[in-house]
Amino acid sequence: MSPDAPILFFDSGVGGLSVLGPTRALLPCAPIVYVADSAAFPYGTRSEAEIAARVPALLAQLVDRFKPRLVVIACNTASTIALDHARAALDISVVGTVPAIKTAAALSKNRVIAVLGTDATVRQPYVDDLSHRFAADCVVIRNGSSRLVELAEDKMAGRAVSPQEVRAAVQPGFDREPFGDAVDVTVLACTHFPLLLDELVAAFPGMDFVDGSHGIARRIAHLTRGQPWPDAAPPGKAIFTGGLPSESLIASLCQFGIEEVGAL
């Protein structure tokens, strides 16, 4: 294993930065390549068949180009649909994202929790399985919001996003459910959504929000334990499949140690 072999993070947009941040804290010298499949953004409105075909094919191309030590699918939609396909297609370890339903169930006093993700994620059987295994004594509400993904992208591109906008993007999903007003813990089942945590807390006072980003970071650290790293972190790289992003977004990427930005 070369010390220069990077960890490759993959998402449809910038949501995977919520996983990259905790990983950087645990592995400060790790070389990073971040890939945003902006040409196909947002995944949450695309068909399962399209995602299942596109993600493994694109990852195979990226692995061939960057020779990473590990691939992280830092996207709940891609993980719930294409993780097994990607693992079958690649000959290196692939880490996916798992909705933190177990954590939410442990925290809930009302025994009513919500899984807040994209429309594609919340309808997956994977969510049903996790709910059955870890939240069988809870009412589990599925709340899909593609608009919230767009707001997270807007925030990272430098636009101020208000709690009122966030509430308007989320509240209708609660209103449609008989127990929606009893939710006390919400799982952020899209990696974009922790980027809006401050706005979510302000929009829904008294509600707890949980996500799996720190658990994923610990999993990455475990899988790379004992591997060599550079003495200091090289500049992180970001690749966008849909062309170069805005200057304001490039400035936001610098906060995560990403200094080189290109297009695929």
Which residues have a catalytic role annotated?
Answer: 75, 190
End-to-end CA distance of the chain: 26
Segments of the chain assigned E as strands: 7-11, 32-36, 70-73, 94-95, 112-117, 139-144, 185-188, 208-210, 236-240, 258-263
Distance between CA atoms of residues 211 and 193, nearest Å: 9
Distance between CA atoms of residues 199 and 164, nearest Å: 8
Distance between CA atoms of residues 65 and 187, nearest Å: 35
Q: What is the 3-state secondary structure (H, E, C) of 21-77?
A: HHHHHHCCCCCEEEEECHHHCCHHHCCHHHHHHHHHHHHHHHHHHHCCCEEEECCHH
